[in-house]
Amino acid sequence: MSTPYAKLPGWVEYGLVPLINLAVAFIVAGLVVLLVGENPFEAAYHLINGAFGRGEYIGFTLYYATTFIFTGLSVAVAFHCGLFNIGGEGQAYVGGIGVALACLWLDQTMPWYVVFPIAIIGSAFFGALWAFLPGWLQAKRGSHIVITTIMFNFIASSLMVYLLTRVLKPLGSMAPQTRTFAEGGQLPKLDWLLSIFGLNIGTAPFNISFLLALAAAFAVWVLIWRTKLGYEMRTMGHSPSAARYAGIRESRITVIAMMISGGLAGMMALNPIMGEQFRMQLDFVQGAGFVGIAVALMGRSHPGGIIPAAILFGVLYQGGAEIAFEMPSISRDMIVIIQGLVILFAGALENMFRPAITRVFAMRGQRAAAVVQTKGA
């Protein structure tokens, strides 16, 4: 998407600006902690220790990050096409149906490495299908993508309640969930990966879907910056009129971008359903679709930025739980406030410091040009 300010060097755009926003967010969060009578430095210690202090903590941090990589990539793909897909929550819900159906069908007869690819296809297909209609309405009827995707979130939530209470719930069970999957529907942990560094993940559900998330990030990079389709999407995002002048079919690109975005959001369901719960439950998404918006904004819609941004939010989730445990006066609601401040400065106020940074680099450029002219004279 187009930016309202002068172009900055890549390391400033994708590194310095997000770091400044993040630093300000944590400073303000520290002031909030101070107001409730606690030491902000102690809270910061528990945050970092709770996220990285032990192998098990790291496993939980990367488990959360896996989910946020998928939803962040989903939002980023839509961003590049000039679309604001707020429907990641609903698309992940419906993607979970594809995962659950694959596992319920094959978990007792096939090993996980056969079920997993089918579940990937199912989750991406169902997620893309759920994003198709908002994309089509935007392309053909001019319905605003934000409104339709929000509406579809509520529809997906109601659909999930119906399926888990009327269709997929085992006989005799009162809980709104599917039966527990057999071994074929359970993803192996990545304990061997952290054991290379001498770490034991313990009970953390850090699983092989993390590798899939990294592969998806690379695939999105190739799609956006190395393919004709990606060029057409970026052209649409920067200037729809220029795209139309170049012969790019606006409706086609809009629908395709939304379906890719929905497919990525749907794949998020693999992590909690096959990697942790081994069943499909209500509320398995737990707000990850909305967190993906902040992840995409902080990562500047680039896979190279989305991965560390997702890890950051994994730190906030896992480390925040440690803060709430070690410092009882800081409730879980306070942790949500800290997360909200990061989202505020990384999202809504992302351009707050950009004019000043742009002026600094413009002055540096002018000075460098003056020095060159002086030497030339």
The per-residue pLDDT for 3 is 46
Domains, the chain, ordered by start: 1-38+329-376 (no CATH), 61-327 (1.10.3470)
The span from the CA of 52 to the CA of 85, in Å, is 32
What's the mean per-residue pLDDT of the chain? 91
The span from the CA of 192 to the CA of 85, in Å, is 36
More confident residue, 373 or 123: 123
Candidates 57, 56, 89, 55; CA nearest to 70 is: 89
pLDDT tens, 239-263?
A: 999 999 999 999 999 999 999 999 9
Cβ neighbourhood burial of 66 (10 Å; 0-12, 13-18, 19+): buried
Q: What is the average pLDDT across 51-59?
A: 95
The per-residue pLDDT for 6 is 63
More confident residue, 326 or 189: 189
- Asked whether residue 56 carries a pLDDT value surpassing 60, the answer given is yes
The span from the CA of 79 to the CA of 264, in Å, is 14
**Residue 2: which pLDDT band, with cuts at 50, 70 and 90?**
very low
The phi and psi torsions of 302 (rounded to 5 degrees) equal -115, 130
The span from the CA of 340 to the CA of 358, in Å, is 26
Lowest mean pLDDT among 32-41, 201-210, 304-313: 32-41
Most confident of 30-34, 35-39, 218-222, 238-242: 218-222
The per-residue pLDDT for 348 is 66
With beta carbons less than 8 A apart as the criterion, state whether 178 and 164 touch.
yes
The span from the CA of 154 to the CA of 355, in Å, is 38
pLDDT tens, 188-205?
A: 999 999 999 999 999 999
Enumerate the β-bridge partners of residue 281: 177
The per-residue pLDDT for 359 is 83
The span from the CA of 207 to the CA of 218, in Å, is 19
Q: What is the average pLDDT across 110-117?
A: 97
- Asked whether residue 1 carries a pLDDT value surpassing 60, the answer given is no
Place of tokens 């997702």: 310
Q: What is the average pLDDT across 321-349?
A: 80
Candidates 227, 254, 303, 218; CA nearest to 82 is: 254
- Asked whether residue 346 carries a pLDDT value surpassing 90, the answer given is no
pLDDT tens, 139-190?
A: 999 999 999 999 999 999 999 999 999 999 998 888 999 999 999 999 999 9
Using alpha carbons, list the distances in angstroms from residue 336 to 316, 319, 324, 327, 342. 9, 12, 11, 15, 10
pLDDT tens, 265-280?
A: 999 999 999 999 999 9
- Asked whether residue 65 carries a pLDDT value surpassing 60, the answer given is yes
Q: What is the dihedral of CA 354, 355, 359, 360, to 10 degrees?
A: -30
H, E, C per residue of the chain: CCCCCCCCCHHHHHHHHHHHHHHHHHHHHHHHHHHCCCCHHHHHHHHHHHHHCCHHHHHHHHHHHHHHHHHHHHHHHHHHCCCCCCCHHHHHHHHHHHHHHHHHHHCCCCCHHHHHHHHHHHHHHHHHHHHHHHHHHHHHHCCCHHHHHHHHHHHHHHHHHHHHHHHCCCCCCCCCECCCCCHHHCCCECHHHHHCCCCCCCCCCCECHHHHHHHHHHHHHHHHHHCHHHHHHHHHHHCHHHHHHCCCCHHHHHHHHHHHHHHHHHHCCHHHHHHHHCCCECCCCCCHHHHHHHHHHHCCCCHHHHHHHHHHHHHHHHHHHHHHHHCCCCCHHHHHHHHHHHHHHHHHCCCCCHHHHHHHHHHHHHHHHHHHHHHHC
Q: What is the average pLDDT across 271-297?
A: 93
The per-residue pLDDT for 270 is 98
The span from the CA of 307 to the CA of 246, in Å, is 33
pLDDT tens, 206-233?
A: 999 999 999 999 999 999 999 999 999 9
Q: Extract the tokens encoding 306.
A: 């989305």
Q: What is the average pLDDT across 328-342?
A: 80
Rg (CA), the chain: 22
> Directed axis angle between helix 303-326 and helix 40-52, to 10°?
110
The per-residue pLDDT for 155 is 96
- For the chain, what percent of residues have pLDDT higher than 90? 71
pLDDT tens, 310-321?
A: 999 999 999 988
